[in-house]
Amino acid sequence: MHQEARHDIFESVAIKEVIKLLEQEYGPCQWHADRDPMDVLIGTILSQNTSDANSGRAFVSLKANFSSWEAVASAPAEHIARAIQCGGLFQIKAVRIKHVLEQIEEEQGRISLDSLKSKTMAQAEDYLMRLPGVGHKTASCVLLFSLGKPSLPVDTHVFRVAKRLGLVDSSVYVDRAATLLQEQIPPSRVYQFHVHMIEHGRRICHARQPRCDRCILRGICPSSLVYSPRRNFT
């Protein structure tokens, strides 16, 4: 059943060709998983449904207002909300962050995710996704950017570009798309694929008016015929 469902999803474009062309366009990308897991977790929660600029400001403000994650966990939710109010949905995220920190402290004995480094990717992902408000994308960001595990985060840019390329069917939901894409990418290329797809989505493959005339992928992209300007022949 699983193989049948996948049969014609990947037939139009090979991911290896996408990886090669994007590397040609944007250069090689070195994977450094050296960010603190707690910073990535809270930063990614703050980034949910808001811009990178706003979530970045909220994260800086949160760190400036509290001396440690333990201090955040012990603070009233309204104090956390006040610190992150520039980030959007701040009241919801304040409660979520407090609950996440409290659960980690209760289960780990301290507010740290360092124990996940020795776990398999599946075990670490399972733990993260049991935290309040943590879905596949948030868990994957922690795994990829902090724990050195090749889990593919699929944000709006990656999802949009992948669908336009025909790497996933247009009807596939985002978590399923992450699984289908990950199955096709060598582990050593997951980081580069993620970074390059985001870069391409921001620079070229825009949501409303993709710049197909400047796209390195136009020769293999089935959507280029849809979005490219029509020419009149006389």
Token reading at 37: 């897991």
Q: Is 4 exposed, middle or buried (0-12, 13-18, 19+ CB in 10 A)?
A: exposed
Q: Which residues of the chain have pLDDT under 70?
A: 1-12, 228-234
User: Is 137 marked active-site?
Assistant: yes
Kindly report the CATH number that applies to the domain delimited by 37-145: 1.10.340.30
Q: Catalytic pick from 93, 98, 137, 149?
A: 137
| 2-29+153-214 shares its CATH topology with 37-145 | no
Token reading at 141: 């960001």
Domain range summary for the chain, segments of one domain joined by +: 2-29+153-214, 37-145
Cβ distance 69 to 103 under 8 Å? Answer: no
Note the pLDDT of residue 76: 97
Enclosing H/E stretch for 165: helix 156-165
Distant-in-sequence, close-in-space partners of 230: CB < 8 Å, separation ≥ 6: none
Q: What is the DSSP string of 3-21?
A: HHHHTTTSSS--HHHHHHH
The sign of the torsion formed by the CA atoms of 59, 41, 153, 150 equals positive
Note the pLDDT of residue 230: 53
If one counts every other C-beta atom within 10 angstroms of the C-beta of residue 29, the result is 16
Count of alpha carbons within 13 angstroms of residue 226, beta-carbon side = 10
Distant-in-sequence, close-in-space partners of 134: CB < 8 Å, separation ≥ 6: 41, 45, 100, 128
Kindly report the CATH number that applies to the domain delimited by 2-29+153-214: 1.10.1670.10
Residues 73-99: b if buried by 16+ CB within 10 A, e if exposed:
bebebeebbebbbbbbbbeebbbbbbe
Enclosing H/E stretch for 97: helix 90-108
Note the pLDDT of residue 200: 98
pTM: 0.86
Output the CA torsion 10→15→18→24 (10° steps). Answer: -170
Cα 69 from Cα 6, distance rounded (Å): 43
Note the pLDDT of residue 228: 67
Q: Is 177 exposed, middle or buried (0-12, 13-18, 19+ CB in 10 A)?
A: buried
